[in-house]
Structure formats: C-alpha cells, structure tokens
Structure 1
Amino acid sequence: MKRHLWLSGLLAGLLGACSPSPTISCTTPCPVAHWPLNELPGATSVQDVVANPLFNTGTPKPGSVVAWPGFSGPTSVSGQSGGALYFPGNGDTYVEVPSTPDLNLSYGSLYLEAYVAPVQCGAGAYYPILDKWDKNSANGYTLYLEGVGPGQAQVALRLGGGTFTSSQTFPADFQPPSTGTWTRVAVKVDGTSGTFYVNGNPAGTFTAPAGTTANTLPLWIGAVHTAPAGLFPCEIALDELRVGTVNPIFSGQ
C-alpha cells in the first residue's frame, strides 16, 4: 500500500513538472523565426521552421523562386548549408513576411543572424538582409551589409533613429550561383548593450536606443523598405536567417 502511494505521488510530481509554464524555456537567444532558405525553383512560399508562437511564412516577390540566372523572383543558388536565395538588392525581388507581434521586437531584447555572401561592389554599396523599419516614425530595425572597399563589407544595423556598424570587415566576393565566401554575421542587443558578431566572434559594440518595433510593415528579406541614405544597392545571397529575442518570451498573459 505504501509503495502504491509512493508511486502515485511520484507520478503526480512528474506530471506537475510537465505542466505548462507561463515562460517559454529556451536558451539565449530565444528563437522567434528561422528561415533556412532552401527553397527550390517553383516554390511559392518560404518556410519558417520555428513555431514560437507561430510560423512566420514568407512569400517570394514578385513571383516564385527561380533558377539562376532568373530574377522574376528570389533566385535559388548554392548556400552555406544546402541551398540559399540570391537577391539583386534593388527592392524588386525579395521575400515578404506579414507583420506579426513576435516580429515587433523590443530594442532591448533583439537577436538577428544570417549567413551572407555579398558580391563585390566596393565602397558605398549596401546589401539588404532583412528589414522592418518605418521611415515615417523612424521605428523598427534593418540588418544589412555596407561595402567599405574593394572586396570587403561590414555589418550594419539601423535601429530606431540610430545606425551602427561592426568594427570588422569580411570578404565580398560571391560569384553566383556557387563560388565565393560565406560569412556568419549577427547582432545582439541586451538592454542598451549591443554587440556585432562575425563568424561567432565579437566584432564591435554600441549603445542601443530604447524602444519597441511597433509598426505594421511586413518584414522583407533581401530588400529594404527605405534605402540607407547615400548608399546604392548591391546583390547578395542569404542563408539560414534567424530572428530571436535575448530574454525569455512570456505566454499565457
């Protein structure tokens, strides 16, 4: 009888430990969206593999994914891991992800990451990665690269009313559909502390502004709603694009 009661108590404890918690437990950063960008020619959607709290599925624009060298939609090329998507950078070809509350990130809890392969365009070029920045309110965020010289680029973040750049450069030498250097770039903001990363290594810090993305613009991959001032667009391939938060996500509130 005692053994039966002990087992019943143990089972109840285990079930209690598995009950839903108001906090989604995850390592830092907490993933919000991850687009592997492995879509093949003919694909009419771009898949997000993180259901947290929902899938942020994108739509290729102006048409379905195409094979190299077409640009009637994002172009399928060889990536850092499997396939990737290639964009001309001029705003005509991109992936559109509808605005959702989880993409309206807090400025103080933000993580953006991508594998990038920019072509060589030189100083004064910008290479769009992702964008959810509203010029009318100077509200939101843009992750892009900036050309700084022959065959070199750096990471840039437009956040609210500020723009910040990494202290480290890396190659801009991609020759589609398959030749060139892939670089992992990321930016993390925790409170007012911002850090760039290149291939996992710190690549400069900055003081981030306060605020929260509170616009209804769709998130664009491979294009920007508003070009960075004084820069011209250039082509880029993107792979394994991730968006996350630094702090835990609360649900059931």
Structure 2
Amino acid sequence: MQHKNVILAMGLGFLLAGLMAGCSPAAPCTTAICLVAHWPLNEAPGATSVADVVANPIFNQGAPKPGPVAAWPSFSGPTQVSGQVGGALYFPGNGNTWVEVPSTPDLNLSYGSLYLEAGVAPVGCGALAFYPVLDKWDQATQNGYALYLEGVSSGVVRAAFRLGNQTFFSNSFSANFNPPSSGTWAKVAVKVDGTNGAFYVNGSPAGTFTAPSGVTNNTLPLWLGALHTQPSGLFCEVALDEIKIGTINPSYSGQ
C-alpha cells in the first residue's frame, strides 16, 4: 500500500510540474519588434475562427463576419484566395465582410511604440478608391490607429496610416491583383518609435513622418478587412495576408 502511495505521489508531482511548465511566462522579447499579434490568415473555407499565433500576453483570436470563411467566389464571409505566404483572405472593402478581434489591453498601443505590417494585394480600382487593412480608430474621440490603402491612379496605390487626429501617407506602389491567384503582392509596414514614423514597402523605406503623442484608449474591436469609419472615396477589393501588430523594443541593441 505504501509503494502505491509513493507511485501516486510521483505521478501527481509529474502532472503538477507539467501544468506549471505550461503556465510559464513567455520568454523575454529579444528582437527589435515585439509582436503582440500575428494573423497568418491561412484559414480554409468553413472556418469560424481566425488564428493569432502570438501569445503576448494572450492569443487575439478573430471571428470572420458575417459568416465563416468562404470559398471563392462567395462573399458570405472573408474569402479564401492564394496568398503571399500560403493562403490569404479576400475582402470586398465595403464593410460587409471582415474579421473582428475583440479589444484587449495589448491592442491599445502607445502612439510612440507601434508597428503594423501586412501583405496586401489590392485590385487596381484607380484614384479615389480605398482598401481597408486594419482598424482600431475611434472617430468620436479621434483616438487609435488604422491602416488602409488609397488609390493614387490606375494601378497605383499608397498606404494611409491614421494615428490620433492625423493621417500619413507612404510612397506609391502597384495595385493589380486579379483574384483568386494572380497579380502583385506587397508587404507594407509602418513603424513609430517615439515621434519618428516611417513606412516600408517590401522592406524598403517608403516615406517618413512625425508622429503625435498619445495612447490608443478605446474599446472598439480591431477589424481586419474593414474600417469603422470610411474615408472619402469608393471602396475597393483587397486580399490580405500575414498581418502583424507589435511594439518597439527599447532594449534592443541590434546585436
């Protein structure tokens, strides 16, 4: 009987150790950008959840709206298409189809420590068109951030970044996606470190700006593929892939 009790105690000890290991805090960030969320957007038709693969401090899972991920050419929900990396999701841009991520404290970013990145494949709708990417901007309080594309001319767009009560624009790049699989993808990023803001397109500098101070302080859900407040102009379709949100690591030494 005593031998059985020892075995039972050892088993419980191993189980407890395993549970404690599973609850261990995340490793410290050692890179220049500390990601708080990353949505690969590889979901197959029928998916009712859009996965965030970064637990920092939680997984910011999204929900496709108004219905599950759809197969091309249905728009009953975000539509699966070929992506820059694996699959991607395609949005009509009119606010009727999007991914909704509940508001969490880690998505309410400081204006001076912010990084947004997305693979984008816009259709060439021409000037005065806009293409939603991600949005957590509150028009009533002029608080938060949003990233979208703006048509410049036929087959040409630029990134637009709302931060607080200001909007900044990148240099232009191509818009020629023909869903579900042909056309040009671009990786668009915006980085704000203190008041120093910069755009990047495919890893190359694409414009700078002076950022305002502040912190996102709203309870709006984060939307992917739609905007809470639409800019002037006509909506246009866009495919999105590998969306990332992060903060700047102040202790990164570049080593």
After TM superposition, is the score higher than 0.5? yes
Shift of residue 170 of structure 1?
A: 1.2
1:52 corresponds in structure 2 to: 56
1:147 corresponds in structure 2 to: 151
Q: Is the 8 A contact 2:123 2:176 kept in 1?
A: yes
> Deviation string for 1:202-234 (max 9, x for gaps)?
110000000000000000000000012x22211
- For residues 248 and 34 of structure 1, what CA distance do their matches in structure 2 show? 20
Residues 22/183 of structure 1: CA separation in 2 closer, same or farther (3 Å cut): closer
Query: In the alignment, residue 93 of structure 2 is paired with which amino acid?
Result: G
How many residues of Structure 1 are paired with residues of Structure 2 in the alignment? 228
Q: Which moved more, 1:51-60 or 1:231-240?
A: 231-240
Q: Structure 2: where are the runs of 5+ without partners?
A: 1-23
Query: Percent identity, aligned pairs only?
Result: 70
Specify which of 94, 99, 122 is matched with residue 98 of structure 2. 94
Specify which of 107, 113, 118 is matched with residue 111 of structure 2. 107
Query: In the alignment, residue 73 of structure 2 is paired with which amino acid?
Result: P
> Deviation string for 1:149-180 (max 9, x for gaps)?
000011110000000001x2111100110010
1:223 corresponds in structure 2 to: 226
Residues 34/136 of structure 1: CA separation in 2 closer, same or farther (3 Å cut): same
- For residues 238 and 25 of structure 2, what CA distance do their matches in structure 1 show? 41
Specify which of 65, 70, 94 is matched with residue 66 of structure 1. 70
Report the 3-state secondary structure (helix = DSSP H, G, I; strand = E; otherwise coil) of the residue aligned with 2:106.
Answer: helix
Query: In the alignment, residue 215 of structure 2 is paired with which amino acid?
Result: T
Shift of residue 22 of structure 1?
A: 11
Q: Structure 1: where are the runs of 5+ without partners?
A: 1-19
2:213 corresponds in structure 1 to: 210
Q: Is the 8 A contact 1:23 1:248 kept in 2?
A: no
- For residues 198 and 233 of structure 2, what CA distance do their matches in structure 1 show? 23
- For residues 220 and 87 of structure 1, what CA distance do their matches in structure 2 show? 12
Report the 3-state secondary structure (helix = DSSP H, G, I; strand = E; otherwise coil) of the residue aligned with 1:169.
Answer: strand
RMSD: 1.5
Structure 1 residue 119 and structure 2 residue 123: aligned?
yes
Residues 189/70 of structure 1: CA separation in 2 closer, same or farther (3 Å cut): same
Structure 1 residue 189 and structure 2 residue 196: aligned?
no
> Deviation string for 1:78-118 (max 9, x for gaps)?
00111000000000100000000000000000000001000
Runs of 4+ in 1 over 6 A off after TM superposition: 20-23
- For residues 220 and 162 of structure 1, what CA distance do their matches in structure 2 show? 19
Structure 1 residue 34 and structure 2 residue 38: aligned?
yes
Specify which of 65, 80, 87 is matched with residue 83 of structure 1. 87
Query: In the alignment, residue 240 of structure 2 is paired with which amino acid?
Result: L
Report the 3-state secondary structure (helix = DSSP H, G, I; strand = E; otherwise coil) of the residue aligned with 2:111.
Answer: coil
- For residues 183 and 26 of structure 2, what CA distance do their matches in structure 1 show? 45
Q: Is the 8 A contact 1:30 1:248 kept in 2?
A: no
Shift of residue 24 of structure 1?
A: 2.9
1:172 corresponds in structure 2 to: 175
Shift of residue 242 of structure 1?
A: 0.3
- For residues 27 and 41 of structure 2, what CA distance do their matches in structure 1 show? 29
What TM-score, normalized by structure 1, do the two folds share? 0.88
